[in-house]
Amino acid sequence: MSDLKSIPRRSRPLPAPRASRWPRFAVAGLALLAVVLWAVSLLLPWWQFYLFAPQYPGGLVLNISLLGLSGDAKEISMLNHYIGMKSLEDAATLERQLAVWGVGLVALLTVGLTLVVGKRWNWLILLPALGLPAGFVGDSMAWLYHFGHSLDRHAPLNIPYFTPQFFGWGAIGQFTTYAMPLAGFWLALAALGAMVWASLWRRRICKSCPLLAQCGPTCAHKLVGAAAP
């Protein structure tokens, strides 16, 4: 100890710097932000359809959320009956029942993968975030196609098979339609953006990790584990 005191202050060896842990917690925070955005999106409509016709100058509105339909859904279903289309309530019944569980699974996978996967599998943290909005769009378009191509030919009005326009302007018989995404869908995209940011930031953290050479399918630190010297 006396020898150390005899060394001039400027000549004393400095302690080895330790890696800052705040970037790791920031990445975990982005994953939690995505979870919050998905939870809020459950309460909001994801897509909206407008229908215009001479007898409806004010138009009819149909809002689609992960949990159900709102707006003029009953009146639109009544009009669909005249062209032999099924009731809107018959669409995506299973999906609506499982929506909360599905969003919960996406949230669990996102947080779990963000904490666990190694650098080589870092891209996996994007898949649940991408799958939710992509799955909604794909499932909705599949139902629109099914409804437009399973018309009852004994209905009062016969029109050719069709697929309702899912984005932008379209036409169904004498109705002009317009479809666009709403707040719930934009929140899901914002959550995806947060996970893209988290993935890029996480990759940068992994490049400076002292255990990079030993990195395998899983992260040795579990992302927010003990900081390495």
Long-range contacts of 68-72 (CB under 8 A, 24+ apart): 68/96, 70/45
What is the 8-class DSSP label of residue 86?
P
What was the pLDDT predicted at 216? 72
For residues 201 and 68, the answer to whether their CB atoms sit within 8 Å is no
63 φ/ψ angles, rounded to the nearest 5 degrees: -105, 135
For residues 44 and 184, the answer to whether their CB atoms sit within 8 Å is yes
What was the pLDDT predicted at 14? 41
The tens place of each residue's pLDDT in the chain, 229 residues long, gives: 445 455 455 544 444 344 567 788 899 999 999 999 999 999 999 999 999 998 888 899 999 999 999 999 999 999 988 999 999 999 999 999 999 999 999 999 999 999 888 888 889 999 999 999 999 999 999 999 999 999 998 899 889 999 999 999 999 888 999 999 999 999 999 999 999 999 999 888 877 777 776 667 777 777 766 544 4
SS3 138: helix
Closest CA to 198 of 165, 167, 169, 223: 223
What was the pLDDT predicted at 9? 53
What was the pLDDT predicted at 47? 98
What is the 8-class DSSP label of residue 221?
T
Q: How far apart are CA 42 and CA 68, in angstroms?
A: 10
Q: How far apart are CA 84 and CA 161, in angstroms?
A: 11
For residues 73 and 62, the answer to whether their CB atoms sit within 8 Å is yes
Closest CA to 208 of 31, 27, 18, 30: 18
SS3 59: strand
64, 131, 209 from 137: Cα distances, Å: 11, 10, 38
